[in-house]
Protein backbone atom coordinates (compact mmCIF):
# COMPACT_ATOMS: atom_id res chain seq x y z
CA UNK A 1 0.00 0.00 0.00
CA UNK A 2 1.35 3.41 -0.98
CA UNK A 3 1.46 6.34 1.47
CA UNK A 4 0.46 9.81 0.28
CA UNK A 5 0.29 12.84 2.56
CA UNK A 6 -2.88 14.92 2.40
CA UNK A 7 -1.67 18.47 2.88
CA UNK A 8 -0.31 21.55 1.13
CA UNK A 9 1.97 22.35 4.08
CA UNK A 10 5.53 22.21 2.75
CA UNK A 11 7.13 21.54 6.16
CA UNK A 12 4.86 18.55 6.76
CA UNK A 13 5.50 17.26 3.23
CA UNK A 14 9.28 17.54 3.87
CA UNK A 15 8.95 15.75 7.22
CA UNK A 16 7.00 12.84 5.70
CA UNK A 17 9.37 12.71 2.73
CA UNK A 18 12.42 12.60 5.02
CA UNK A 19 10.91 9.54 6.71
CA UNK A 20 11.56 7.75 3.42
CA UNK A 21 8.10 6.18 3.11
CA UNK A 22 6.28 8.87 1.14
CA UNK A 23 4.89 7.91 -2.28
CA UNK A 24 2.96 11.07 -3.15
CA UNK A 25 0.84 14.04 -2.10
CA UNK A 26 -2.81 14.98 -2.41
CA UNK A 27 -4.08 18.52 -2.06
CA UNK A 28 -7.44 20.18 -2.47
CA UNK A 29 -8.60 23.82 -2.63
CA UNK A 30 -9.33 23.84 1.12
CA UNK A 31 -5.82 22.60 1.95
CA UNK A 32 -4.25 25.18 -0.41
CA UNK A 33 -6.31 27.98 1.19
CA UNK A 34 -5.29 26.74 4.67
CA UNK A 35 -1.61 27.45 3.95
CA UNK A 36 -2.44 30.90 2.56
CA UNK A 37 -1.90 30.33 -1.18
CA UNK A 38 -3.49 33.20 -3.13
CA UNK A 39 -3.69 33.70 -6.92
CA UNK A 40 -3.35 31.29 -9.83
CA UNK A 41 0.40 31.78 -10.28
CA UNK A 42 1.02 31.08 -6.59
CA UNK A 43 -1.07 27.91 -6.86
CA UNK A 44 0.98 26.69 -9.85
CA UNK A 45 4.26 27.58 -8.13
CA UNK A 46 3.19 25.71 -4.99
CA UNK A 47 2.48 22.54 -7.00
CA UNK A 48 5.89 22.82 -8.67
CA UNK A 49 7.59 23.18 -5.27
CA UNK A 50 5.77 20.08 -3.97
CA UNK A 51 6.90 18.15 -7.07
CA UNK A 52 10.50 19.20 -6.39
CA UNK A 53 10.30 17.98 -2.76
CA UNK A 54 8.71 14.59 -3.55
CA UNK A 55 10.72 13.73 -6.63
CA UNK A 56 9.25 10.34 -7.52
CA UNK A 57 5.68 10.62 -6.24
CA UNK A 58 2.34 11.46 -7.80
CA UNK A 59 1.02 14.89 -6.81
CA UNK A 60 -2.73 15.45 -7.09
CA UNK A 61 -3.73 18.96 -8.17
CA UNK A 62 -7.44 19.70 -8.11
CA UNK A 63 -9.44 21.59 -10.74
CA UNK A 64 -12.03 24.11 -9.59
CA UNK A 65 -14.05 24.25 -12.82
CA UNK A 66 -17.29 22.27 -12.96
CA UNK A 67 -18.03 22.26 -16.71
CA UNK A 68 -16.37 19.88 -19.21
CA UNK A 69 -14.45 22.54 -21.16
CA UNK A 70 -13.29 24.34 -18.02
CA UNK A 71 -12.13 21.11 -16.37
CA UNK A 72 -10.23 20.06 -19.50
CA UNK A 73 -8.54 23.46 -19.98
CA UNK A 74 -7.61 23.71 -16.30
CA UNK A 75 -6.43 20.09 -16.17
CA UNK A 76 -4.19 20.55 -19.23
CA UNK A 77 -2.48 23.51 -17.53
CA UNK A 78 -2.01 21.58 -14.28
CA UNK A 79 -0.65 18.50 -16.07
CA UNK A 80 1.83 20.68 -17.97
CA UNK A 81 3.39 21.90 -14.71
CA UNK A 82 5.26 18.65 -14.01
CA UNK A 83 5.25 15.03 -15.20
CA UNK A 84 4.15 13.83 -11.73
CA UNK A 85 0.99 15.94 -11.57
CA UNK A 86 -2.24 13.93 -11.47
CA UNK A 87 -5.33 16.01 -12.25
CA UNK A 88 -7.91 15.73 -9.48
CA UNK A 89 -11.45 15.88 -10.85
CA UNK A 90 -14.72 15.84 -8.88
CA UNK A 91 -17.22 12.98 -9.25
CA UNK A 92 -19.85 14.90 -11.20
CA UNK A 93 -21.28 14.24 -14.68
CA UNK A 94 -19.00 16.77 -16.37
CA UNK A 95 -16.11 15.43 -14.32
CA UNK A 96 -16.62 11.86 -15.56
CA UNK A 97 -16.70 13.12 -19.17
CA UNK A 98 -13.50 15.06 -18.53
CA UNK A 99 -11.78 12.05 -16.89
CA UNK A 100 -12.54 10.02 -20.05
CA UNK A 101 -11.10 12.84 -22.18
CA UNK A 102 -7.95 12.99 -20.02
CA UNK A 103 -7.62 9.17 -20.21
CA UNK A 104 -7.86 9.29 -24.01
CA UNK A 105 -5.26 12.04 -24.11
CA UNK A 106 -2.67 10.48 -21.80
CA UNK A 107 -3.33 12.64 -18.74
CA UNK A 108 -3.68 10.78 -15.44
CA UNK A 109 -6.56 11.64 -13.10
CA UNK A 110 -7.68 11.19 -9.51
CA UNK A 111 -11.47 11.11 -9.23
CA UNK A 112 -12.31 12.85 -5.96
CA UNK A 113 -15.35 13.26 -3.69
CA UNK A 114 -16.37 9.62 -4.07
CA UNK A 115 -18.87 8.32 -1.51
CA UNK A 116 -20.40 5.22 -3.11
CA UNK A 117 -19.52 2.04 -5.00
CA UNK A 118 -21.52 3.26 -8.02
CA UNK A 119 -19.40 6.40 -8.25
CA UNK A 120 -16.25 4.27 -7.99
CA UNK A 121 -17.43 2.08 -10.89
CA UNK A 122 -17.99 5.16 -13.07
CA UNK A 123 -14.53 6.54 -12.21
CA UNK A 124 -12.92 3.23 -13.21
CA UNK A 125 -14.97 3.01 -16.43
CA UNK A 126 -13.77 6.50 -17.37
CA UNK A 127 -10.17 5.36 -16.81
CA UNK A 128 -9.20 7.33 -13.71
CA UNK A 129 -5.73 6.41 -12.42
CA UNK A 130 -7.02 6.82 -8.85
CA UNK A 131 -10.42 6.87 -7.18
CA UNK A 132 -10.70 8.71 -3.85
CA UNK A 133 -13.40 7.45 -1.47
CA UNK A 134 -13.63 9.87 1.51
CA UNK A 135 -13.90 7.41 4.36
CA UNK A 136 -13.62 9.88 7.25
CA UNK A 137 -16.48 11.99 5.95
CA UNK A 138 -18.57 8.81 5.53
CA UNK A 139 -17.82 7.86 9.16
CA UNK A 140 -18.73 11.43 10.20
CA UNK A 141 -22.18 10.96 8.67
CA UNK A 142 -22.85 7.72 10.55
CA UNK A 143 -21.92 5.20 7.83
CA UNK A 144 -18.90 2.86 7.68
CA UNK A 145 -16.16 4.30 5.48
CA UNK A 146 -13.89 1.26 5.68
CA UNK A 147 -16.76 -0.95 4.47
CA UNK A 148 -16.92 1.17 1.30
CA UNK A 149 -13.18 0.62 0.70
CA UNK A 150 -13.74 -3.16 1.05
CA UNK A 151 -16.70 -3.04 -1.35
CA UNK A 152 -14.80 -1.07 -4.00
CA UNK A 153 -11.76 -3.37 -3.63
CA UNK A 154 -13.99 -6.40 -4.22
CA UNK A 155 -15.73 -4.89 -7.25
CA UNK A 156 -12.45 -3.75 -8.83
CA UNK A 157 -10.91 -7.22 -8.31
CA UNK A 158 -13.94 -9.03 -9.78
CA UNK A 159 -14.15 -6.65 -12.74
CA UNK A 160 -10.40 -6.35 -13.30
CA UNK A 161 -10.43 -2.52 -13.13
CA UNK A 162 -6.94 -1.02 -13.00
CA UNK A 163 -7.92 2.19 -11.18
CA UNK A 164 -6.09 2.40 -7.84
CA UNK A 165 -8.15 2.84 -4.68
CA UNK A 166 -6.83 5.91 -2.88
CA UNK A 167 -8.46 5.93 0.55
CA UNK A 168 -8.91 9.60 1.50
CA UNK A 169 -10.25 11.66 4.38
CA UNK A 170 -8.24 9.58 6.85
CA UNK A 171 -8.79 10.61 10.47
CA UNK A 172 -6.61 8.20 12.49
CA UNK A 173 -3.77 5.68 12.50
CA UNK A 174 -6.41 2.95 12.89
CA UNK A 175 -8.00 4.08 9.61
CA UNK A 176 -4.65 3.49 7.87
CA UNK A 177 -4.41 -0.06 9.26
CA UNK A 178 -8.04 -0.79 8.36
CA UNK A 179 -7.45 0.49 4.81
CA UNK A 180 -4.46 -1.86 4.46
CA UNK A 181 -6.70 -4.77 5.54
CA UNK A 182 -9.56 -3.64 3.29
CA UNK A 183 -7.42 -3.68 0.14
CA UNK A 184 -6.72 0.01 -0.49
CA UNK A 185 -3.86 0.56 -2.96
CA UNK A 186 -3.01 3.93 -1.42
CA UNK A 187 -3.93 5.94 1.66
CA UNK A 188 -3.70 9.70 1.78
CA UNK A 189 -3.47 11.03 5.31
CA UNK A 190 -2.50 14.09 7.31
CA UNK A 191 0.93 13.77 8.96
CA UNK A 192 -0.31 12.94 12.49
CA UNK A 193 -2.03 9.60 11.73
CA UNK A 194 1.06 8.53 9.76
CA UNK A 195 3.38 9.37 12.68
CA UNK A 196 0.89 7.71 15.04
CA UNK A 197 1.75 4.37 13.43
CA UNK A 198 5.20 4.64 15.04
CA UNK A 199 3.85 4.71 18.55
CA UNK A 200 3.60 1.87 21.07
CA UNK A 201 4.23 2.27 24.83
CA UNK A 202 6.00 -1.12 24.97
CA UNK A 203 8.48 0.13 22.37
CA UNK A 204 9.27 3.14 24.58
CA UNK A 205 9.53 1.00 27.74
CA UNK A 206 11.64 -1.62 25.96
CA UNK A 207 14.01 0.95 24.48
CA UNK A 208 14.47 2.71 27.83
CA UNK A 209 15.41 -0.65 29.40
CA UNK A 210 17.83 -1.55 26.59
CA UNK A 211 19.54 1.85 26.83
CA UNK A 212 19.76 1.52 30.64
CA UNK A 213 21.27 -1.97 30.36
CA UNK A 214 23.68 -0.82 27.63
CA UNK A 215 25.30 1.50 30.19
CA UNK A 216 26.43 -1.65 32.09
CA UNK A 217 28.77 -2.77 29.33
CA UNK A 218 29.88 0.63 28.08
Residues that bind ligand E4P (CB under 6 A): 6, 26, 28, 112, 132, 134, 136-137, 168-169, 188
Q: Tell me the Cα Rg of the chain.
A: 19
Whole-number Å distance between alpha carbons of 142 and 38: 35
**Catalytic residue check, 88:** yes
Minimum CB separation from ligand E4P for residue 7, in Å? Answer: 9
| Residue number with CB closer to ligand E4P (5 or 200) | 5
70 versus 136: smaller Cβ distance to ligand E4P: 136
Residue of 14, 55, 83, 88 with catalytic role: 88
State the minimum distance, in angstroms, from the CB of residue 68 to ligand E4P.
22
Residue 195 has φ and ψ, to the nearest 5°, of: -65, -30
Burial class (CB in 10 A: 0-12, 13-18, 19+), 92: middle
Gap between the Cα atoms of 46 and 54, Å rounded? 12
Name which of 66 and 203 has its Cβ closer to ligand E4P. Answer: 66
3-state secondary structure of 172: coil
Q: Measured from the CB of residue 210, what is the shortest distance to ligand E4P in angstroms?
A: 38
Nearest-approach distance from CB 155 to ligand E4P, in angstroms: 20
CA separation, residue 148 to residues 40, 49, 51, 162 (Å) = 35, 34, 30, 18
Q: Which residues are catalytic?
A: 88
Amino acid sequence: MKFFIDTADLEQIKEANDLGILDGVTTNPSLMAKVGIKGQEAVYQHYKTICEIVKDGDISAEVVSTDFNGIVEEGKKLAALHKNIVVKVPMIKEGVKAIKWFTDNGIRTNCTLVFSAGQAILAAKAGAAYVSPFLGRIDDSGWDGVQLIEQIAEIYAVQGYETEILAASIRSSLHIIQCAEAGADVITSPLEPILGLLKHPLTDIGLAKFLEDAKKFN
